[in-house]
Amino acid sequence: MQPVLAVTSGEPAGVGPELCARLAEKDWPARLVVLGDIDLIRERAALTGRPVEVQRYEGEGSARAGCLEVLHLPLAVASKLGMPDPANARYVLDLLDRALAGCASGEFAGMITAPVHKGVICDAGVPFSGHTEYLADHTLTPRVVMMLVGGGLRVALVTTHLPLSAVPAAITQEAVEQTLRILHGDLVRRFELAAPRVLVAGLNPHAGEGGHLGREEIEVIAPVLERLRAEGMQLVGPLPADTLFVPHTLSTGDAVLAMYHDQGLPVLKHASFGGGVNVTLGLPIIRTSVDHGTAFDLAGTGRADPGSLYAAVELALAMSAAGGASAAAH
């Protein structure tokens, strides 16, 4: 009995289709179903010098050994390497919608996503700020948390895709508390950490320097930490971000909570780029993703590294085994 995982192939002009084809190179303890245009995936695999045998996914039917299963969803228009076309934006979103539907019904135990291009989707007239926000909207989840895993680190964010000028106003007591509750809950439920210890960064340099460099630590972050510690959560901070991300301090925690995107993610990507995983916490389903973009310049060259996609599959498998998803095994 193996879990069935959906893998969306992402932006067709990027590296997603060829990386998904490379899933056939490993023997996985799961049934992986790639969502995408079957001819596109076959052609990109051949173009990169790694042709694979491809078959259509047919529900509960058995897949052939060494064969890549593809749930065929057709492109709207032919895709050119490195040249995203807004006409295919709906196709990209259809991949996500089909994977979501399969996770909701129990057909899939979780979903793994290859990269999409936000700009081309927006150019098609669909407001889109990222996978994380899209999946939250379409599962009616009021708040989700982005966490990246890799290089021995877990780094979660209070705010995600916001201009830096908008971040301070978004760091509210409610936002920090809800994020910490989701992070703590999923570390217990999906990562099997009975009593996770979270290191919480301050917003300002030197965590505000006692109020001389900003008062968000005093007025917003610290009161939330005090309330949640009283409930039994192990929370350390608010800590200066520049000294939080040193090996000794990191070794004392199970996860880091950063206040904004570029406070936490550059450190993690330095430690793990090419092998990191983006996880959306707080959803009713399991969702992991690669830690890189569409890499248009590498599309079709065969040089794109599948390491992050492999790591995303492995983490989704581990989370599924932890009992965090509806079982979908055939």
Domain ranges of the chain: 1-141+284-330, 143-282
Dihedral through CA 35, CA 40, CA 44, CA 46, nearest 10? 110
3-state secondary structure of 109: coil
Alpha carbon distance 201, 71 (integer Å): 42
Classify domain 143-282 at the CATH topology level.
Isopropylmalate Dehydrogenase (3.40.718)
Considering only 53-67, 91-105, 160-174, which range has the smallest mean pLDDT?
53-67
Omega before 238 within 30 of 0, i.e. cis: yes
| pLDDT the model gives residue 325 | 40
CATH top-level class of 1-141+284-330? alpha beta
> How many Å apart are CA 274 and CA 305, to the nearest integer?
7
What tens digit of pLDDT does each residue of 107-166 get? Answer: 999 999 999 999 999 999 999 988 888 999 999 999 999 999 999 999 999 998 899 999
The answer to whether residue 169 scores a pLDDT higher than 90 is yes
Instruction: Using the predicted structure, report yes or no on whether residue 215 has a pLDDT greater than 70.
Output: yes
Has residue 65 got a pLDDT over 70?
no
pTM for this predicted structure:
0.91
The stretch 254-265 carries a mean pLDDT of 96
Q: Give pLDDT tens digits for 73-89.
A: 999 999 999 999 999 99
| Pairing state between β 234-239 and 197-201 | parallel
- Tokens 């076959």 -> residue: 42
pLDDT given at position 63: 64
Q: What is the mean pLDDT of residues 221-229?
A: 98
Asked if the model's pLDDT at residue 235 lies above 50, the reply is: yes
Asked whether the predicted pLDDT for residue 324 surpasses 70, the reply is no
Tokens read off for 311: 């790591």
Helix H or strand E encompassing 118: helix 118-123
Look up residue 97 and give its two tokens: 């919608």
Q: Is the sign of the CA dihedral 105, 109, 114, 119 positive or negative? A: positive
Backbone angles phi, psi at 200, to 5 degrees: -110, 125
- How much is the average pLDDT of 185-211? 96
pLDDT of res. 327? 36
Same fold across 1-141+284-330 and 143-282: yes
